[in-house]
Amino acid sequence: MEITTRSLWTLVHGMGFGALYLLACSGAIVLLFLRSATNEHSTPKGDRVLGIYLTVMAAVAWLTVLSGTYIIYPWYRAAPPAGAAHLTAFPRSLLLSNPATKQWHLIGMEWKEHVAWLVPIAVTMAAFIAIKYARDLKHSPPLRTALYGFVATSLFAAGVAGFFGAMLDKNAPVDGGQTIRLVQGE
Amino acid sequence: MSSQSAISQDSAPGLPNGSAAAILSAGIGSFTLALLTIVADQSATVKSMLSIYKPTGALSGVTTFAMLAWIVVWAILDWRWRGRNPSLKRINVIAFALLALSLLATFPPLGDLL
């Protein structure tokens, strides 16, 4: 059982940070809903938990976009040498070479690479509000609306990025680099 | 409705204005990202200028400058609104409109129409 370093990074980025963010986002929405539906969670301890939770989400969002943009994306968009017959190591060129897969890049990747960056902006703001204005959340409906709205938008943007990330990896996986042997075969 | 009553309806008494600065700047930062994405897509010169890290291409400049714009706008608004209490409802409407426009404008088939 083996994995290449590029595959491993893709896994860390998508299945690690990305999926973790999506899961955490669902949790945040439930947490925020419970706070507004009941007053049980609007305690100093509950405020602290919300602040920490959103801060961790913001950190995960930043790790996701930074690893995607600066580690995986350069491998994805690398240009093949002139006359290259095999494009497997050049996912972007591989997708563009076939009319059946072209749109995965032109729509999927083009949207994913930009919309994903809305996530850290939205959730960093949400974390800031939750930490600095935690006590005001209880009394200010517009502040709560802003928090819910930005967290929900970040879920949508992360969902778009995650969906296209998975589909792109299915059609033209980022692979290569050093091979890591996980389990020795018999 | 007087401005005083608008403020008391919008937010708790003494709600710090820093929250308004954070919310609006997030909307502006998102919209800057979408705007730079469209401009880079339509102008080869801008695309080349935004390629501050070659392996990542224009995406490096688009995201770096959008993040800078977000942080700078946040700091400016926070400073400008110190001691004031802007209407959070109005700020939310503007911020959500900018956020929605950003989601739409980054979608390539729509971005290409602009």
Q: Is B51 a domain residue?
A: yes
CA A107 to the chain's CA centroid:
17
How many of the other CB atoms lie within 10 Å of CB of A159? 16
Spatial CA neighbour of A140 closest among B20, B51, B101, B28 = B20
Number of structural domains (chain B) is 1
Of A113, A117, A146, the CB nearest to B92: A146
pLDDT at B1 over 70: no
pLDDT at A39: 66
Q: Do A143 and B107 touch (CB under 8 A)?
A: no
**pLDDT of residue B5 exceeding 60:** no
Give contacts of A125 with chain B, Cβ < 8 Å. 22-23, 25-26
Whether B78 has a pLDDT exceeding 80, the answer reads yes
**Alpha helices for A12-140 (secondary structure H):** 19-37, 44-67, 73-77, 91-96, 102-103, 110-115, 118-132, 134-137
Establish if B8 belongs to a structural domain.
no
List the single residue in B with minimal CA-CA distance to A143: B88
- Nearest chain B residue to A129 by CA distance is B19
Closest CA–CA distance from residue A68 to any residue of chain B (Å): 10
What integer pLDDT is reported at residue A83 of this predicted model? 84
Question: How does DSSP classify residue A183?
Answer: S
Task: Quote the pLDDT of residue A184.
Answer: 82
ipTM associated with this complex: 0.91
Strand partners, A180: A3
B7 within domain boundaries: no
pTM, entire model = 0.91
> Which residue ranges in chain A fall short of pLDDT 70?
39-41
Cβ atoms of A158 and A13 within 8 Å: the answer is no
Angle of helix B18-42 versus helix B88-106 axis, rounded to 10: 20
Domain for residue B2, yes or no?
A: no
Query: pLDDT at position B15, please?
Result: 56
| Residue B4 maps to a domain | no
Q: Do residues A36 and A91 lie in contact, with contact meaning Cβ atoms separated by under 8 Å?
A: no
Has residue B9 been placed in a domain?
no
Q: Which residue has the tokens 């896994």?
A: A11
Express each pLDDT in A139-160 by its tens digit. Answer: 888 999 999 999 999 999 999 9
- Please report whether residue B11 resides in a domain: no
**Among A19, A44, A28, A14, which residue's Cα sits nearest to residue A122?**
A28
* Predicted confidence (pLDDT) per residue in B54-66, tens digit: 999 999 999 999 9
Contacts of B103 in chain A (CB under 8 A): 115, 118, 153, 156-157
Name the strand (E) or helix (H) holding A179.
Answer: strand A179-181
Q: Which of A117, A140, A150 sits opposite B63 (nearest CB)?
A: A117
Can you give the residue range of the structural domain that contains B82?
Answer: 18-109
* B43 within a domain of the structure (yes/no): yes
Q: Check A107 against B30: CB less than 8 A apart.
A: no
Q: Is A148 on the interface with B (CB under 8 A)?
A: no
